[in-house]
Amino acid sequence: MKRICFAALASLSIIPLTALAVSYPVEVEQALNGTDVLATTETIDRDMAGLVLQNFGERPVECTAVFRNGPEAPRTRRTVLEAGERKPLTAKFKRDVIRLRIKLTCAPQ
């Protein structure tokens, strides 16, 4: 009896986790200008997105990311990545993200 109750409770606890899974298409347009930067996208929540930047080069790099979600005003994030550094950039929107477009521009310093 205890096993049946535990199995039922465990299956109920899994349902909300699968219901919260977030997935939407992300398009990244990159202008790296000779830098050695890796950009990885992350879907954080239904109205929040992230971009993780990693500098594999030997010099600092200045990057600008513009996050666009449909008709909302674009969110611009700027950062300077030192050699070997990794930084996340995030953007929160007022509406659910249906399709995200990110324009990433990096230039060596």
**Residue 99 is part of a domain; what is its CATH number?**
2.60.40
Residue 4 within a domain: no
Residue 13 within a domain: no
Residue 63 within a domain: yes
Residue 1 within a domain: no
pLDDT in tens, 52-100: 999 999 999 999 999 999 889 999 999 999 999 999 999 999 999 999 9
Residue 12 within a domain: no
Q: CA–CA separation, 16 vs 28, rounded Å? A: 30
Residue 62 within a domain: yes
How does strand 100-108 pair with strand 86-92? unpaired
The Cα angle at residue 24 between residues 78 and 40, in degrees rounded to 5? 40
Task: Provide φ and ψ at 41, rounded to 5°.
Answer: -90, 155
pLDDT in tens, 10-68: 555 554 444 556 789 999 999 999 999 999 999 999 999 999 999 999 999 999 999 99
| Sheet order of strands, 61-68 included | 26-31, 100-108, 61-68, 75-81
Looking at the structure of the chain, the number of domains it has is: 1
Residue 68 within a domain: yes
Structural contact between residues 92 and 18, judged by C-beta atoms closer than 8 angstroms: no
Residue 7 within a domain: no
Residue ranges making up the domain that contains 56: 22-108
